[in-house]
Amino acid sequence: MSMPPSALSNAPPKRLKNLFVPPPPDKCTRCNNRVYQMEKIGPVNEVIFHKQCFKCKECGQHLSLKTYFTNQTDFSDPEVYCSKHCPKVRHNALYFRFSV
């Protein structure tokens, strides 16, 4: 017994235009406008920036892929920071006294 062609899971689409649906445009995380390939930086933390929007969230210093930092205390934060303003994990120094 054979199955009718319409019952196959990999049946061709009914309309040819359904094959050529473009992906949604990339949006800049900072300004929420469309990012074209020539002005794109990223993905960084799974988000995309314009070159002009790729700057420290706190002071506005322009950053590069070599000079940016990410939030070390909140991994869901998509923003980028300079080295001075990057939220860092604070460790309490533990000192041990050893007796000899």
Which residue is listed with tokens 């940016």?
A: 68
Q: Hey, which CATH number is domain 24-88, 3.40.50.300, 3.40.50.740, 1.10.287.70, 2.10.110.10?
A: 2.10.110.10
What pLDDT is stored for residue 88 in this prediction?
A: 82
**30 has pLDDT over 80:** yes
Domain map of the chain by residue range? Answer: 24-88
pLDDT in tens, 40-90: 998 988 899 999 999 999 999 999 999 999 998 888 889 999 999 998 877
What does the alpha-carbon distance between residue 66 and residue 10 come to, in Å, rounded to a whole number? 45
What does the alpha-carbon distance between residue 41 and residue 80 come to, in Å, rounded to a whole number? 12
What pLDDT is stored for residue 55 in this prediction?
A: 95
